[in-house]
Every structure is written in structure tokens, then in C-alpha cells.
């Protein structure tokens, strides 16, 4: 008998859609499963003002409307939520302006040099006091890429050092600032989040629930498992599974799906990012089923994020069935290029069958 899993339609609280030609692929894949998506602002150039956020959202919606493969119901309901990129030049007025738009949901903190397109990131985080105060006033969350970037610190220790050296200080100085610890990767981050008040939450990606650094490194380096923050030890993977499936509303879905053309992933660059947008729900179902916690997936995917952001729970539903599907080897991308998804060519036990 086929197992059927029906969920409230989920939202993705951390996704990279990129811009320009890339939107023809990424928007369709995101809209296939998700209702709202929090769109990362690390474009070139980055989204730093309310007007830039409005223009970016219009480009996303234009790509959506042009897509002949998406049903009209998905085009009508898909809701990209914008994020401002925090820089050393961001002002309190920028936050005030963003709050008035109704479509900017958060501000993203990238420590300078932490990940893809983060060169404009903050160099002195604690000097952003007036910005954080404005965000507290408006109830606008700070989304944190939680890694320090000092070259002498081991890449596997950078998340822990960020918690100790930076995030602790932000929380102490701005006790009412809502913060999402993005794509947490360690037991340290999970336990840190649990120790804070309800204004501190965390997103968890499918790759950090399903894999650890052995998957990335044993038997040769596998570039499509490479993301930042990097995959950690199996013990950290186990702890993330525990908190994701615990029923604690502090933890919710954020894929960090990040498209890089195949030739840039499979190169000396080895760009950081796993592309999972189209198959994210089957991947999460795999992870939750691995610890007999499928009954916890709906809250993690469809309730807790909306509640944290103060938004209504979606009223539509999505259905998965436990029947195998093979992930495509690649997707067409950027005209004549390809995009290789996470687990390309492999068989997943779950698939989405309808909304």
C-alpha cells in the first residue's frame, strides 16, 4: 500500500533565486512546492535598499508569470519575501523604509567574505547599533550567516566561534531583536538556540540533516555536497535531526538552495552551495523518516516559520507519496549551461504529486 503524506503547503525561509536568466529555472522550482520564500539578497550588486527590494521582487514575479509550466494557481499564490543586505553603510532610515513596503521581511547579516557574494558584508558587526535598534522597533528579524571569517580559524570551528564571539554580544546588547540563526550545522548552534528566548530561532537545510563531512570527503571530494557552513561530523548531523524532529517551534525549514552552474561547481572554484529547490520536500521527508518522525514534518515545514515571522499559516495543501523518483542529472540553466541538483541521478523514496 502506498504511503501518502499530506501537509499544509510549506514555506522556504531561506532560498537563493539569483537574478536575470537564472530566475527562469529557480523560480519555477521554488514555486512548485513552496508558497512563501525568503529570497536571499546577495546578488551582484546586492539588494541594499527598499527600492532595490521592490525591483527584485518584480523581476521574480515577471519570471513567474512568463513560466508556461506552472499552473495558474501557483502563479497566483507564490509570495517571494524580500531581505535587505546589511552593510557597513546601512542606516536606520533604510530599515524604516523597508518596513513600510510590506514585502521586506528581514535583514541579512553576512560577515564580509563568509560565503558567495559576501564581499559587501559587515566588517564591524557591533557598530550597527542604530540599525539593530530600528529593527527591534519594527519587529524585523536579523538573519545571520553564523560564521567568523578569520583565516586562522579552522573552517569546521567557525560557526562555534561566531556564537561565542559575535552572536552572544548581539543578543546581550539588543535583547528584543528577533534573530534567525540560518542553516545551523552544529550541536553547538542547536543547543545555543535552545538556550535563548523565543525571539531566537534557526533554519536547518536538508543537506545538514541527511549528510555529514564523510559524504563530502570520503572516496574523493564531491563538489555538489559542498556548502557553507560546511558539513560537519556525524555527531552534529545527529543533533540537528534531534532538534528538527523534536516539535520545538524554534526550528524550521530553510533549504539554502543555491544554484551554481555545473561548470562552476565542478571546477577549481568549487562554488559553495547545494541546489535542492525542486526536490527539497522529498529530501526532508527522507530525513524525518530516518528517525521515524514523519508526523513532525508538517510543523517544521509549514507552521513554525510562519509563526516566527508573524504571518498566517497557509491554507493550501501539498501531497507526497512514497514512490521512488530519480533526480535528474541536470537542469537547463542560463541559456546553454546546466545546473546539477543535490543527489543528481540518485533515487529518492518520496515525491511530490500535487498541490
Sequence ranges of the domains in the chain: 4-354
Which residues touch 55 (CB under 8 Å, ≥6 apart)?
A: none
For 90-120, what is each residue's pLDDT tens digit?
999 999 999 999 999 999 998 775 556 556 6
User: With 90 as the cut, is the pLDDT of residue 28 above it?
Assistant: yes
Confidence of residue 270 (pLDDT cuts 50, 70, 90): confident
pLDDT of residue 128: 86
Q: Which residues participate in the annotated binding site for Zn(2+)? A: 14, 16, 108, 145, 183, 256
Task: Give dist(CA 251, CA 154) in Å, integer.
Answer: 26
125 within 8 A of 111, measured Cβ to Cβ: yes
Q: Look up the pTM and report it.
A: 0.96
Catalytic annotation present for 96: no
Inter-CA distances, 19 with 206, 221, 253, Å = 23, 29, 23
Which residues touch 92 (CB under 8 Å, ≥6 apart)?
A: 130, 131, 133, 134
For CA atoms 262, 266, 269, 272, give the dihedral sign: positive
Inter-CA distances, 344 with 23, 331, 341, 353, Å = 20, 10, 5, 19
Task: Give dist(CA 203, CA 355) in Å, integer.
Answer: 24
User: With 90 as the cut, is the pLDDT of residue 354 above it?
Assistant: no
Q: Which residues participate in the annotated binding site for substrate? A: 16-18, 42, 145, 228, 260, 272
163 within 8 A of 146, measured Cβ to Cβ: yes
User: With 60 as the cut, is the pLDDT of residue 335 above it?
Assistant: yes
List residues bridging with 325 in a β-sheet: 348
Task: Give dist(CA 165, CA 174) in Å, integer.
Answer: 15
pLDDT of residue 114: 58
Confidence of residue 220 (pLDDT cuts 50, 70, 90): very high
Kindly state the average pLDDT of the residues 164-175: 94
Task: Give dist(CA 18, CA 20) in Å, integer.
Answer: 7
Rank 112-116, 236-240, 264-268 by mean pLDDT and report only the highest.
236-240
For 274-328, what is each residue's pLDDT tens digit?
999 999 999 999 999 999 999 999 999 999 999 999 999 999 999 999 999 999 9
Buried residues in 302-316 as b, exposed as e (16+ CB within 10 A): bbbbbebbeeeebee
* Whole-number percent of the chain with pLDDT over 70: 97
For cell 571546477, the residue is 267
Kindly state the average pLDDT of the residues 52-60: 98
CATH class of 4-354: alpha beta
Q: Out of 256, 295, 329, 336, pick the active-site residue.
A: 256
Buried residues in 15-32 as b, exposed as e (16+ CB within 10 A): bbbbbeebbbbbbbbbbb
For CA atoms 346, 347, 350, 355, give the dihedral sign: positive
Amino acid at each position: 500500500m502506498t504511503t501518502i503524506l499530506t501537509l499544509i503547503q510549506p514555506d522556504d525561509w531561506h532560498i537563493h533565486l539569483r537574478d536575470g536568466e537564472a530566475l527562469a529555472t529557480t523560480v519555477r522550482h521554488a514555486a512548485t512546492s513552496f508558497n512563501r520564500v525568503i529570497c536571499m539578497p546577495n546578488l551582484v550588486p546586492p539588494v541594499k535598499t527598499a527600492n532595490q527590494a521592490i525591483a527584485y521582487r518584480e523581476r521574480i514575479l515577471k519570471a513567474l508569470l512568463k513560466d508556461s509550466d506552472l499552473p495558474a494557481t501557483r502563479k497566483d499564490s507564490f509570495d517571494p519575501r524580500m531581505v535587505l543586505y546589511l552593510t557597513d553603510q546601512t542606516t536606520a532610515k533604510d530599515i524604516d523604509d523597508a518596513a513600510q513596503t510590506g514585502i521586506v521581511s528581514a535583514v541579512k547579516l553576512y560577515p564580509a567574505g563568509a560565503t558567495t557574494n559576501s564581499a559587501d558584508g559587515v566588517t564591524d558587526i557591533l557598530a550597527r547599533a542604530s540599525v539593530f535598534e530600528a529593527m527591534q522597533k519594527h519587529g524585523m528579524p536579523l538573519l545571520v550567516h553564523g560564521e567568523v571569517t578569520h583565516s586562522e580559524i579552522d573552517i569546521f570551528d567557525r560557526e562555534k566561534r561566531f556564537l561565542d564571539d559575535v552572536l552572544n554580544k548581539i543578543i546581550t546588547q539588543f535583547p528584543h531583536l528577533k534573530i534567525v540563526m540560518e542553516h545551523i550545522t552544529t550541536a553547538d548552534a542547536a543547543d545555543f538556540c535552545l538556550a535563548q528566548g523565543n525571539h531566537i530561532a534557526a533554519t536547518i537545510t536538508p543537506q545538514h540533516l541527511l549528510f555529514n563531512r564523510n559524504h563530502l570527503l570520503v572516496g574523493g571530494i564531491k563538489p555538489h555536497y559542498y556548502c557553507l557552513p560546511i558539513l560537519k561530523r556525524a555527531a552534529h548531523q545527529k543533533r540537528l535531526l534531534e532538534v528538527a524532529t523534536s516539535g520545538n517551534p524554534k526550528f524550521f525549514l530553510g533549504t539554502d538552495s543555491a544554484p551554481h552552474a555545473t561548470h562552476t561547481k565542478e571546477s577549481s572554484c568549487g562554488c559553495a552551495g547545494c541546489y535542492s529547490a525542486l526536490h527539497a520536500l522529498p529530501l526532508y521527508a527522507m530525513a524525518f523518516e530516518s528517525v521515524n518522525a514523519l508526523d513532525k514534518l508538517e510543523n517544521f515545514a509549514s507552521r513554525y516559520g510562519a509563526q516566527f515571522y508573524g504571518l498566517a499559516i497557509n491554507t493550501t495543501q501539498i501531497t507526497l507519496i512514497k514512490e521512488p523518483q530519480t533526480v535528474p542529472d541536470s537542469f537547463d540553466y542560463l541559456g546553454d549551461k546546466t545546473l546539477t541538483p543535490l543527489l543528481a541521478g540518485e533515487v529518492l523514496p518520496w515525491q511530490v504529486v500535487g498541490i
